[in-house]
Structure 1
Amino acid sequence: MIHHISLAKPLGTRIDARDPLRVAGVLAKIWNGKVYKFLVSDSYIVIPFDEYGTHVVVFKEGDVWSPSTEIEPAKVIQATPTKLVAIHAAVSVPTTQQQIEQIGQQEGWRVLTRKQGDAPFSLIEFWVENRILFEFMPPEFTPQYLEIMELESIEQMLGQHLESVPA
């Protein structure tokens, strides 16, 4: 299950990658999911078939969603790729800490296990292509995350919620 995605701009549950099929395959290993060709050329969708309908689309590097006219749907266009991205996602996965670390090592991607104390909750930083951060939580890590996301814990960590957000 995807617990949160932090975005610099609205992107939805999609990422771009230099090698989209490879990235989709790695994510499928971690989620025990399946990879399918997506509706956009050179893009793939990873589906773990969980009870939440979780999925992630992996576009080729530089592909972005773009709004169209009032009567036309959104479309995917090619934009200037960036080395790093302003997105990360926290995701509960069925695989173990050791499996995730091994997969990252096989790919040559940065993997760092952080325990509660040096982070608000235990997580595994998994850097897809060393540029996109996923915070993977194996089954034993997820209860800490869910506990932290309770109202009391959030307000203790972040303070009171904002009554209104300026437009």
Structure 2
Amino acid sequence: MLFHVSIDARDPRRVATVLAELFGGEATPFPPVAEGSWIAHAGDERSTAIEVYPRGTELMEMPGDADAIGVPGEGGLCSTHFAMATRLSQDEVFAIARREDWPAKYRKRGGVFGVVELWVEGDRMVEVLTAEMQAEYLAAFTLDNWKRMLAGAGDERHRLVA
């Protein structure tokens, strides 16, 4: 199952608002990845969402203990990514990444839910969630929690409130 997918658009707010309407959900700003991003929340039990970044945003792997970031496009990369569930363990996911010679690392998004950031062919990100990570995601990434996070100030701007 997919939890979320990302796309880019010329007018992220408008696109996210229309997609949220189709979901029967709500659109909100999505500042963690790229300025001007919006997210369409389905508001369902799986916290299904579509992240919408400004056209040309590229996701870039960051070295060491850091999350991927969105940067203005210079060609070659893109913002499209998705989060997927797996029945495999984290060690099994890393073994596959090593076998394929694809970069992969564990990240704790917003300090609340874990993902394995897997870079397919070295330049396309897939967030892989083990059973434990799926439970964290579903507990943290709700529309109500997102709205509380957006209402927060200062350093809490990019942190989900579980």
Q: Could you state the TM-score of these two structures normalised by the residue count of structure 2?
A: 0.49
For the pair shown, the structure with the greater C-alpha radius of gyration is 1
Q: Relative to total residues, which structure has the larger helix share, 1 or 2?
A: 2
